[in-house]
Amino acid sequence: MKILATVKRVPDPETSIKVKPDGSGIVADNIKWVVNPFDEIAVEESLRIKEKVAGSEVVLVSVGAKVAQEQLRTGLAMGADRAILVVAEDGLEPLAVARVLVKVIESEQPDLVVMGKQSIDDDSNAVGQMAAELLGWPQATFASKLELAGDQKTATVTREVDGGLETLSFPLPGIVTTDLRLNEPRYASLPGIMKARKKELKEIEVGALGVDVAPKARLVKMEPPPKRQAGKKVASVEELVHLLHTEAKVI
Amino acid sequence: MSAPDYYDLEALLTAEERLTRDTVRAFVEQECLPLIEGCFSREEFPRQLIPRLGELGVFGANLKGYGCAGMNNVAYGLVMQELERGDSGLRSMASVQGGLAMYAIYAYGAEEQKRRWLPPMARGEAIGCFGLTEPDHGSDPGGMEARARQVGDEWVLSGVKRWITNGSIADVAIVWAKTTPDDEIRGFLVERGTPGYGAHDLKGKFSLRASITSELVLEDVRLPASAILPGVAGLKGPFGCLNQARYGIVWGAIGAAMACYETALDYALNRVQFDRPIAGFQLVQQKLVDMITEITKAQLLAHRLGILKDEGRVRAQQVSLAKRNNVGQALHTARLARDILGANGIVNAYPVIRHMLNLETVNTYEGTYDMHTLIVGRDLTGLDAVR
């Protein structure tokens, strides 16, 4: 079975993000970059399938700047077999990324594509759905459980929806996007890191794929959330009720 | 949590070295730190971490083959740094397993011994310890009293070894003893359960409490001829292992110092006295500057030493200089951090007092600060101060 898992390079969620003074983006210097946590879950899920289904191959794909090699190496160190980096130095919009992925999927012909439900930087939550639509493939988003039939022709996915769980079943090939509770990703092992250096990491220039990646929207401005105001101490319940009426205007 | 890197040491590291460090750091932060204060206060080692550390591949990570990761020495050093950022006891366990026990078998063992022990030790399924120090022979191991005499095809081993990390949980002990009649120091593999061999823990430590420290007692322990390490005779055997483990300590000490510095900086920025953060006071700033200066120097020393080691031209005296400096300065840094934290510096709500107490041990074991002074002193002058 061939599984394709996506890997996006994103700022470490633990990093404190600063917006550039002109609002044109975030300050990218001196921040730590990691594998998008939802993609890490996708890689882990793919590796678990590989461990269960003999002869499986896990291929990683990233669309982004050349430095995203580092994140692909992390995934290879976790145990993936090889990686493809579609080099696009400028950040692409979700639809462009989906079109690029479709090209890669068409040439790799995986049985299953596992992706993070969203990347924690732009939070678009769109690429998986768009790629499935473009391919005409079934999709199951926000997976909290993924099971394959014994013949690996069908996938059954449990999704976390508002107020409960929904279970879907569909024939492969298909696209699954991962939610937080699908699994707990493993740590790359030190021998794994050593082995990763010898694994194939193929680079493709985005221009060579012949897809339209021109942006459709323009980034107008980024701004940090407003600073939290200091609280106020009140002396009595009467004062509190009074202020809730007159100042906060919530009662 | 980021790490202090005042001189952009990051730029000297390869992507692989950074990934190694970040992987072990994440493991320590998520899996070890939540346990460590409890272990320290109960005086126990978090044994449940051993198989996971094995899975991660930290044991003997700079050895090649036999299931070991085969990393370069800078990457290995960074592993030790991150383990000791957690706790010196954690790093000690890994140092003794990899740097002392596995290395002894790796460097001096017969092929059969290597094949039998190294793969399960790398996986953390078998634990090793290293018996050199005795109750009456610490800095002068050449005076050891442990004896091994040959009786027929067997060796009969007697003696007591003390301050042995991992002792009571070890599946195999590397025990150094003088052979009769040639009076030469040789290493023996003593397996758990061998009649006459026992280990009990030393309690009441105020330092390295999250680490197992034992006494090994050997009373006429009969060992087959195949139990001897064939590859070495004389003190250079154990010294070769110590050099390997000391190299790890050179990096480990930086990790403990980093944890103290980061805690102290954060505390000083948030602790308000006289209506401003204490980080704004000159005396506190001086302490912080002293700390980052020593950490930076220690990092550069360790990195250069790692490259010399990879190039195969490191000298034992260079390891001594770095062990002496980095541990001595880490201890100094920990004491400064404890001071900045005031009363909070003595409670386990912060990691500082634990690191400070641990570093007292690290400053003493694997060659005391003073012994390393004399080793480098002899190297400089050609004059031996101890004999």
For chain B, what are the domain ranges?
Answer: 9-122, 128-227, 236-381
Residue listed under structure tokens 């021998």: A191
| Interface check A74 vs B, CB under 8 A | yes
Nearest-angstrom CA–CA distance, A33 and A95: 23
Do the Cβ atoms of B350 and B267 come closer than 8 Å?
A: yes
Proportion of chain A above pLDDT 90, given as a percent: 83
| Neighboring chain B residues of A196 at a CB cutoff of 8 Å | 16
CATH 1.20.140.10 for the B236-381 domain, yes or no: yes
User: Are B27 and A187 within 8 A, CB to CB?
Assistant: yes
**Stretch A39-51: mean pLDDT, rounded?**
98
Cα–Cα–Cα angle for B30, B35, B37, rounded to 5 degrees = 125
**CATH code, residues B9-122:** 1.10.540.10
Q: Given a cut of 60, is residue B2 above it in pLDDT?
A: no
**Stretch B307-324: mean pLDDT, rounded?**
98
Indicate the residue type of B250: V
Instruction: Kindly report, residue by residue over B154-166, the tens digit of the pLDDT.
Output: 999 999 999 999 9
**Stretch B14-40: mean pLDDT, rounded?**
96
Do the Cβ atoms of A9 and B15 come closer than 8 Å?
A: no
Confidence of residue B1 (pLDDT cuts 50, 70, 90): very low
Give φ, ψ of B236 to 5 degrees. Answer: -60, -20
Instruction: Kindly report, residue by residue over B107-119, the tens digit of the pLDDT.
Output: 999 999 999 999 9
Checking phi first, is residue B192 left (phi over 0); if not, alpha (psi -120 to 50) or beta?
Answer: beta
Chain B (56-75) residues lying within 8 Å, Cβ to Cβ, of chain A:
56-58, 61, 67-71, 75
User: Are A187 and B26 within 8 A, CB to CB?
Assistant: yes
Nearest-angstrom CA–CA distance, A62 and A80: 13
**CATH code, residues B128-227:** 2.40.110.10
| Interface check A189 vs B, CB under 8 A | yes
Q: Looking at residue B21, what DSSP letter applies?
A: H
**Stretch B41-56: mean pLDDT, rounded?**
96
Nearest-angstrom CA–CA distance, A60 and A40: 11
Tell me the Cα Rg of chain B. 21
ipTM of the complex: 0.89
Do the Cβ atoms of B259 and B37 come closer than 8 Å?
A: no
Which stretch of DSSP H or E encloses residue B199?
A: strand B197-201
Which chain A residue is nearest to residue B59, measuring alpha carbons?
A190
* Closest by CA position to B324, among listed B268, B271, B264, B371: B371
| Interface check A32 vs B, CB under 8 A | yes
Chain A (112-171) residues lying within 8 Å, Cβ to Cβ, of chain B:
none
Confidence of residue B33 (pLDDT cuts 50, 70, 90): very high
| Interface check A51 vs B, CB under 8 A | no
A165-203 as b/e: b if 16+ CB within 10 A: eeebebebbbbbbbbeebbebbbbbbbbbbebeebebee
Q: Given a cut of 90, is residue A126 above it in pLDDT?
A: yes
Q: Given a cut of 70, is residue B320 above it in pLDDT?
A: yes
Which chain B residue is nearest to residue A196, measuring alpha carbons?
B16
User: Are B61 and A190 within 8 A, CB to CB?
Assistant: yes
User: Are B19 and A194 within 8 A, CB to CB?
Assistant: no
Distances (CA, A) of B38 to B34, B83, B349, B361: 8, 17, 11, 19
User: Are B70 and A192 within 8 A, CB to CB?
Assistant: no
Confidence of residue A145 (pLDDT cuts 50, 70, 90): very high
3-state percent helix, strand, coil for chain B, nearest multiple of 5:
55, 15, 25
Instruction: Kindly report, residue by residue over A151-194, the tens digit of the pLDDT.
Output: 999 999 999 888 899 999 999 999 999 999 999 999 999 999 99
To the query of whether residue B311 is one of the catalytic residues in this protein, the response is: no
> How far is residue A226 CA from its own chain's centroid?
27
Checking phi first, is residue A145 left (phi over 0); if not, alpha (psi -120 to 50) or beta?
Answer: beta
Residue of A29, A78, A190, A199 for testing the chain B interface, max B β-carbons within 10 Å:
A190
CB atoms within 10 A of CB A20: 11
Residue of B2, B21, B76 for testing the chain A interface, max A β-carbons within 10 Å:
B2
CA distance A105 to chain B (A): 28
User: Are A189 and B55 within 8 A, CB to CB?
Assistant: yes
Instruction: Kindly report, residue by residue over B122-151, the tens digit of the pLDDT.
Output: 999 999 999 999 999 999 999 999 999 999
| Interface check B386 vs A, CB under 8 A | no
CA distance B9 to chain A (A): 13
* Closest by CA position to B174, among listed B107, B120, B111: B107
Of A14, A74, A191, the CB nearest to B19: A74
DSSP chain A: -EEEEE--EEE-TTSPP-B-TTSSSB--TT--EEE-HHHHHHHHHHHHHHHHSTT-EEEEEEEE-GGGHHHHHHHHHHT-SEEEEEE-SSPPPHHHHHHHHHHHHHHH--SEEEEESS-TTT----HHHHHHHHHT--EEEEEEEEEE-TTSSEEEEEEEETTEEEEEEEESSEEEEE-TTS--PPPPPHHHHHHHTTS-EEEEEGGGG------SS------PPPPPPP----SSHHHHHHHHHHTS---
| Neighboring chain A residues of B56 at a CB cutoff of 8 Å | 187, 189-190
User: Are A193 and B69 within 8 A, CB to CB?
Assistant: yes
* Closest by CA position to B123, among listed A64, A16, A191: A191
Which chain B residue is nearest to residue A67, measuring alpha carbons?
B15
| Interface check B1 vs A, CB under 8 A | yes
Instruction: Kindly report, residue by residue over B182-195, the tens digit of the pLDDT.
Output: 999 999 999 999 99
Of A14, A73, A188, the CB nearest to B15: A73
Nearest-angstrom CA–CA distance, B242 and B246: 6
User: Are B23 and A77 within 8 A, CB to CB?
Assistant: yes
What is the third-level CATH fold of A2-220? Answer: Rossmann fold (3.40.50)
Nearest-angstrom CA–CA distance, B118 and B128: 10
Helices (H) and strands (E) in chain B, counts: 12, 9
Q: Given a cut of 80, is residue B197 above it in pLDDT?
A: yes
DSSP A174-224: EEEEE-TTS--PPPPPHHHHHHHTTS-EEEEEGGGG------SS------P
Instruction: Give the strand pairing for A174-178 and A112-116.
Output: parallel
